[in-house]
Amino acid sequence: MDPQDALLTILGLGAITLLSRAFFLLPRHELPMPPLVRRALKYAPLAALVAIIVPEVVLTRGALIGTWADARLLGAVAAAGWFAWQRGILGTIAVGMLVFLPLRIGLGW
């Protein structure tokens, strides 16, 4: 991405933060939110995050990895396990990196 495009992308992302966080604060008069929309909104962010994370972890150049000997996969499993147990974001990052880094730097996985 060339610098000008990157700049424009970043400014657009800033506008999106403003638009989403102030969505119902911006209009002059209160807007009703239909219940079906409210329910659909519950699933969309979760789905987008999963759709970003999972391919980052289980695909290499667009193909499924065929082995467990992968630093990302084991790091992600360890991190998810820690979160399920302790539910803290700090520990999740720390445990995931503690598994990931030795495998990546030491073994080249």
Integer Cα distance of 78 and 97 in angstroms: 9
75 binds another protein (CB under 8 A): yes
Rounded to whole angstroms, the Cα distance separating 96 from 44 reads 25
Name every residue whose Cβ is closer than 8 Å to that of residue 3 and which is 6 or more positions away in sequence: none
Count residues near another protein (CB under 8 A): 76
Q: 4 to 33, contacts with another protein by CB under 8 A?
A: 5-14, 16-26, 28, 30, 32-33
**Contact set for another protein, span 80-99 (CB under 8 A):** 80, 83-84, 87-90, 92-94, 96-97
From the CB of 3, what's the least distance to another protein, in Å?
A: 7
Residues 79 and 94 sit within 8 Å (Cβ to Cβ)? no
Q: Does 106 bind another protein (CB under 8 A)?
A: no
Contact 96, 78 (CB under 8 A): yes
| Interface pattern 35-74 for another protein (x via CB under 8 A) | xxxxxxxxxxxxxxxxxxxxxxxxx--x-x------xx--
